[in-house]
Amino acid sequence: MSQNSHFKGGPADAIAFKMPENFPFRSDQGFVYEAVISSRDQCEHSLTIKVASSEADCTAARSLLNKQYAWRGYGDTHNIPAKPTYSTFTAFIDGKLVGTLTLGVDSSYGLEVDATFRGELNTFRRVPGAKLCELTKFAFDTEIQSKAILAAFFHFIFIYGEYRYNCTNLFIEVNPRHRRFYESMLGFDRIGGLKQNGDVKAPSQLMQLKVAQIRAQLEELSFSSNTVGERSLYPFFLSSNVERQILRQMELGGLKATGSSHCVMPVMEQPQHNSLAA
C-alpha cells in the first residue's frame, strides 16, 4: 500500500458503494471523473478523480504526499515529478483531497524507479514492443471503509495509461511491508530482491504487472457476479459501461495513444530523483 495510508476495507465493500452507470465527465478543468457514492449507513458522498492540471492541484498533492510520508518517517521534502512524461492523479471525497498517485511513462529521461532498479528495468526495455510505465508518489488517507474508492482510483489510472500510452508493463517500488497488498489486491509480481531506496532511506521491492493481466482480470470478472469476500480489488473496479464512457471522452479530448511503435534504449545514467511509491 502507500507509505502513509489510512484506508480501511472489507468483504462488505461490494455493497457499501455503488458507482453510477452514467457519470458526469468534465473536460473544462482537465480530465475529471465524478460520481456519487452511497455508504452502508445510506450517507451519500461525492467522489472526484482527476488529473492534476494546475499548480494548485500539484501543490495540494505534494502536501498530502509529504504529510503521509512524514507520518511513516520518510521525511517531508518529497517532490512530484514535473516532466511531461508524468501525470499526477488526485482523488477527492466530499471535496477533500484524500489520495494522490503519479503515472510515469518511459522515455529517454528514464523512470523514477531507475535510481534503484535501473538494471532490472533495462532487462524489460530490451523486450521488443515493450513500453514501460511506473506508479510512484502514492499517498491515500481516508477513514471511509470501502475498497471501491481505491479500486476506482486505480482503474481510472490504468485506463489512462493503457489508452493514452499503450503501456505494456507497469512497475512500482514498494516498502517490503506492502508487498502482499499489491500481490493479492492487484496481482503484481516481485522482481528480484530488496534494495535500499536512497530517497526515503528504506528497503524497497520492485514489482511488476503486465497491463494485459489487468484486462484479462476484468474480462474474467465480467462473467461472474459473485464479488463479495474477494481480496482482490478487481471485483470493485468500474463497470465496463463506465470504462467505455471514459474511453470515449479520452478520444474526444485527443488523449488516444498514437499507433507508432515505441522503443526506449536501456538507461545508462541514473535520474536525479527517486521515490518509494508505496
Q: Is the dihedral of CA 172, 60, 90, 143 positive or negative?
A: positive
Strands 44-51 and 202-210: unpaired
Please report whether residue 11 resides in a domain.
Answer: yes
- Indicate whether 274 belongs to any domain: no
193 HSE (CA, 13 A, CB side): 0
Answer whether 90's CB lies under 8 Å from 57's CB.
yes
What are the CA-CA distances from residue 265 to residues 107, 108, 136, 164, 259 (Å)?
Answer: 9, 8, 21, 21, 19
The whole-angstrom separation of Cα 44 and Cα 10 is 19
264 is a domain residue: no
For residue 44, what pLDDT is reported?
A: 82
| Domain span at 83 | 5-252
Amino acid occupying residue 40: R
φ/ψ of 16, rounded to 5, equals -75, -35
* Cell reading at 73: 518517517
3-26 pLDDT per residue, tens: 434 443 333 333 333 444 444 444
- The yes-or-no verdict on residue 124 having pLDDT over 90 is yes
CATH of the domain at 243: 3.40.630.30
- Asked if 101 contacts 138 with a C-beta cutoff of 8 angstroms, the reply is yes
What are the strands, taking DSSP E only, across the chain? 5-8, 25-26, 32-38, 44-51, 86-93, 96-105, 132-145, 169-174, 189-197, 202-210
Question: What's the total number of domains in the chain?
Answer: 1
Q: Which residue has the higher pLDDT, 220 or 139?
A: 139
How far is CA 154 from each of CA 33, 100, 180, 274, 276, rounded to the nearest angstrom?
13, 11, 17, 21, 17
Classify residue 265: in a domain, yes or no: no
Asked if the structure places residue 271 within a domain, the reply is no
Asked if residue 268 belongs to a domain, the reply is: no
Supply the pTM of this predicted model: 0.81
From 2-11, 205-214, 235-244, the region with the lowest mean pLDDT: 2-11
**What average pLDDT does the chain have?**
80
Per-residue pLDDT at 73 = 87
Residue 134: its pLDDT value, please? Answer: 98
- The 10s digit of each residue's pLDDT in 104-113 is 999 998 999 9
- pLDDT grade, residue 219 (50/70/90)? confident
pLDDT: which is higher, 276 or 100: 100
Residue 272 lies in a domain: no
- Residue 266 domain flag: no
